[in-house]
Structure 1
């Protein structure tokens, strides 16, 4: 296994744990982790491109905040959650790159299970609150992540393939 995959795996796990346990207090450290990632990443440009996934994820979470499925103490998505989305997005090119080989139905299943599990764990750690029933909370995140994960992985896959093609064309010139 490539060393950076391990580093990125640890990077994302630490990012999630900090976000879920310390929320606003974790913001500066999350920013530092993200900057460190870009300093040592072997694919800075691809990682920068995949941040578009973070924008989409933030919009989805902002909608869920507006709908009060998650309550973060304000009507705007907090910085720690934006940075966590950025950390997730760049992990798609590294420790989560294995998902690029999976067919969409598998990604839908993984998203429908892991997305709600992650948010429910964060809810249990009191990273945020909810005003909806647990079943509604879980179903909402299952649907959201059944769509988000395949879309995110496909975006990462296409971005990666496009960069490889551009690099091959540039080296032939």
Structure 2
């Protein structure tokens, strides 16, 4: 049940952020994400490890998304500090990290190249969906899709690796 709640929490946060941009509800979406993160940490078996992983994902995501935006691969909408990626994306990176030891913990048991393949396929799809729903501008050219794919092909296995390093699972749990 914990894994289902974790996955559901992330998905509802994603939708809240994406819809929040289009509906002018970005601040309530951010508050919702913060509440989910605090709840996750309060129920986590290793809250400091979760917080460290979230911080690593936050830095990774802000750097990746800001670079993608600066080289005109994608243009994100929403409240941001200058050219840096918007705050709602920051929260999604934090919450995504909080799935890596819960609903996506199975990735830690697989070879990292499978995480790279998953990032290659699903990273661009997520950004494309967000753009189609009005949270970003993205032309979908092969070069831009390739840049997103490459970014996620690196980011996902890196974060899975970091999750694996930060967490030790008792046998039978994961």
After superposing the two structures, state which structure 1 stretch, 42-51 or 69-78, moved more: 69-78
Partner of 2:70: 66
CA distance in 2, matches of 1:11, 1:133: 28
Q: Paired residue for 1:29, among 26, 32, 36?
A: 32
2:126 is paired with a residue whose SS is: helix
Deviations 1:76-118 (A, max 9, x none): 2111110111000111111110000111221111110010111
- Contact kept in structure 2, 1:54 and 1:88, CA below 8 Å: no
The structure where helix makes up a greater share of residues is: 1
Deviations 1:113-132 (A, max 9, x none): 010111111111111113x5
Q: Paired residue for 1:46, among 49, 55, 71?
A: 49
CA displacement at 1:47 relative to structure 2: 0.6
Q: Mind listing any 5+ residue stretches in structure 1 that lack a counterpart?
A: 165-173
Q: Paired residue for 2:113, among 79, 102, 105?
A: 105
- Contact kept in structure 2, 1:4 and 1:41, CA below 8 Å: no
CA distance in 1, matches of 2:17, 2:144: 19
Partner of 1:76: 84
**Does structure 1 residue 148 correspond to structure 2 residue 155?**
yes
Count of aligned pairs between the two proteins? 160
State TM-score, norm by structure 2. Answer: 0.84
CA-atom RMSD, angstroms?
Answer: 1.7
State TM-score, norm by structure 1. Answer: 0.85
CA distance in 2, matches of 1:8, 1:103: 23
After superposing the two structures, state which structure 1 stretch, 75-84 or 18-27, moved more: 18-27
